Structure 1
C-alpha cells in the first residue's frame, strides 16, 4: 500500500557513504517496492539499477570493509530483497550472506521464548474435558476433582468409604507426534511491509519446527505464493519473496481458506497494512465465514519494532467489527499473541497509539 511519486527517498550520488543507509532503509525498501505498482517492468528495471548505483549497494556488497561499516539489520535485508532481479549476479551470494547473518541473529533472539510459549499453549489446548476412556489423564483428573470428594455410607452398617466424583475429566490430548493446531501465516509482501516479511519468515521457520504445530506460510501481492515447502530455511523463504507490487488480500485469503481442513483447530494470521486492491466486500465475507467455521483469525498491521504503519483504517475497523481486531505487533509480543490464539483466549492487544 501507500503511495510513491517515483522519486527516490534520501537520494545521494555515488559518492555518498553506504554506511549511512541504515536510517533511510525503510523508506528505500518501500520506494523500491512501490515503483512496481506505478511503472511498467522495463522502467522499473532501469530505476532499480540506478538505485543500486546511487545508494552504493554494489560497493557495499562487493567490498568486505564496506560490509563491516554497516550493521546489517532487518531494514537492510528488506532493501536487498526489494531489489529483486535487478541485483547483479556477482552480488547475490554476498547479499545472501548478509541476509543469513541477520536471520541467525533474529533466531537467536526470538526462538527459545517462542518455542517455550507456544509449546505450553499447545499442551494446554490439547487437554480436553470430554476425552475417550483410554485418553483420560487420571492423575490430572483426580487432582482437578479433589474438591468433589464424597463420603459414602458403608453397606449393612459397615465402614463409610470415600470417593471422588469426576465432574471434569481431563484428557491427554492427541499423541505428541500429531499436529494439535494448524497455523496459516498470510503475509503481504508490498514494499511497505518489508520488515514484517523478514520477521514472519523467521517466525514461520520457528513455528514449523514445532512437531505439534502444522504451519503454512503464504505471501502475496496480486498473486499468491505458498512458501511452506521452504520453511526449513527462512533465508530460502526470503529469497522466494518479491517485495513490491499491488495487493489482493481477498485472493490470498481465498487460497488460505481452501487449505484449511480443521477450522476449529486453525489460526490464520493476516499480516498486512490492509490497503486492498481486490474485492473489499469479498475479503470481509471470507473472514466472517472463516470465523463462523471456528477459525481463530488474527490481523497484524505490522510485525516489526516500529509500531503501526500507515494502514487502511476503514478496513481495520470492519475487521474489528467481525471480531478480528487489527493491531501492530512487535516481535517480542508475537509469541504471546499466538499462544492466546491457540488457546482461544482474548488477544493481548496493545494500547492503541494516540492519533495525531
Structure 2
C-alpha cells in the first residue's frame, strides 16, 4: 500500500523508497530511450544489466557483457568462446543456479550457444543440468574428440546428481511393491507367515478368548526366481524427448541394480537400438543414443514384444510424445496384444520436471481407450507409477 505523503510503498513488510522503485523499473525495462526512468546504473547493477542486455535484446552480443556500458537491450551471437565464457561466468556470479540454467537454455535457443559448446573451455564454464546434457547429446558426432571427454565429465556430473536424488526412493518403493506382489494370499499351512498374518488381523482380537481370529492368511513370498519382474523401458529419442531420455537412462541403471528386476532398455527413432548391455553405466547409455530424427513406435514395440518371455510378470514402459511415423493401427494392435497376454503397459508422454509436452492427442486417446492412459510423469512420481504397475493396481495418474 502507499503511505500518505511519504513517497514510499510498503509491500510484504518492506519499505521501498521512490529511487529504489525507479532503479528496479530501469533494470526491468533495460534502458531503452523510451523507458521513461532517466535512471543511470552503476557498479553491480551495471554488470547485471549488461549480462541481461547480451541475451534479451535485439541486436548486440554476449561479447559486451561484463564490460558495462548499459546499452539498450540487444542480443546476438557474434562472440568468441572466451567472451561467451566470461558471460557465463558473469551470470553465475549475479544470479542463483536455477536462474542461470534458464538463461543458458535461452542462450542456446537465441544465441547459437550450442555451436560454442563444441569447445572444451565453454563446457567448463556452463552450469550443468539435464537440458545441457540433452543439447550435448544432440550434437552427437559433430562434437570433436578434444571436447568429448569434457562433455562426458559434464554428463557424468548431472547423472550422478540425479542418481543421488532418485535412487534410494526408487529402490525402497519398488522393493516394497515386489514384496507385496510376491506374497501368497491363500497359503498352505506350512507356508503361512504367522507374524504378518497376526498383525493383519489384530482388529479381530477376542479378549475373552485371548486370541486373534485370522480372517486373512498371508503366506511367505514365493522364491525370488519365480517372481522376478521384467521391465522394458522403450524410449523415443526424438529431439523433444531429451530430458526424458536422460531421466530414463538413470532409472534404467537403478532398476538394473535390483536383483529382483530384469531390466531392458530400448531406444528408437526410425530404427531400434537395444542398450541393455550398457545399463551399468548410464553415461554410456546416453552417449549410445542419437537424439533427433523420425519416429517408428510400432517398430520399437515389435522389438520389445519379441523379447518378452513371461508376459504376466512384465511391465513395458513406453516413453514418447506419440507422434508416430510408422503404422498407427499396427501400433495400437500391438499394445492390445501385449495387454491381452498379461503385460502391464504404461505410456508416459514425458519423464521430466517440465510438465506435459506437445503430444499426439489422438494416439493418447486411443491408448486410453485400450486401458493404457498416457500422461506426463515427473521423476519423483516415477517410482510410484512403477510400483503400481508391478502390483497390477491402477496407476497414480496426475491431475491434468
Task: Give the direction of change, closer, same or farther, for the CA distance of 1:102–1:169 in structure 2 (3 Å limit).
Answer: same
Give SS of 2:171's match. helix
Counterparts of 2:363 and 2:257 in 1: how far apart (Å)? 33
Q: Would you say 1:21 and 2:77 are equivalent positions?
A: no
Give SS of 2:118's match. helix
Q: Would you say 1:55 and 2:111 are equivalent positions?
A: no
Give SS of 1:55's match. helix
Give SS of 2:347's match. strand
1:70-85 aligned at under 5 Å gives the runs: 70-85=126-141
Task: Give the direction of change, closer, same or farther, for the CA distance of 1:24–1:290 in structure 2 (3 Å limit).
Answer: farther
Match of residue 353, structure 2, among 259, 280, 305: 305
Task: Give the direction of change, closer, same or farther, for the CA distance of 1:306–1:335 in structure 2 (3 Å limit).
Answer: same
| Structure 2 unmatched ranges of 5 or more | 1-74, 89-102
Match of residue 136, structure 1, among 179, 192, 213: 192
Q: Which has the larger radius of gyration?
A: 2
Aligned-residue offset at 1:131: 3.7
Counterparts of 2:324 and 2:191 in 1: how far apart (Å)? 46
Give SS of 1:17's match. helix
Aligned length: 307
The answer to whether the 8 Å contact 1:301/1:308 transfers is: yes
Counterparts of 1:261 and 1:137 in 2: how far apart (Å)? 30
Provide the residue aligned with 1:278 in structure 2.
326
1:1-356 aligned at under 5 Å gives the runs: 12-15=77-80, 17=84, 19=88, 21-23=104-106, 25=108, 55-59=115-119, 62-63=120-121, 66-131=122-187, 134-144=190-200, 168-176=216-224, 180-352=228-400
Provide the residue aligned with 1:3 in structure 2.
none
**Which piece of structure 1 moves more, 122-131 or 219-228?**
122-131
Give SS of 2:232's match. strand
Counterparts of 2:163 and 2:199 in 1: how far apart (Å)? 38
| Structure 1 unmatched ranges of 5 or more | 1-9, 29-50, 151-160
Counterparts of 1:131 and 1:220 in 2: how far apart (Å)? 44
Task: Give the direction of change, closer, same or farther, for the CA distance of 1:86–1:171 in structure 2 (3 Å limit).
Answer: same
Under a length normalisation based on structure 2, what TM-score does the superposition of the two structures give?
0.70
What does the per-residue CA deviation read over 1:170-194, in whole Å, with 9 as the maximum and x for residues that have no partner?
2222334665321111000011111
Counterparts of 1:165 and 1:321 in 2: how far apart (Å)? 43
Provide the residue aligned with 2:30 in structure 1.
none
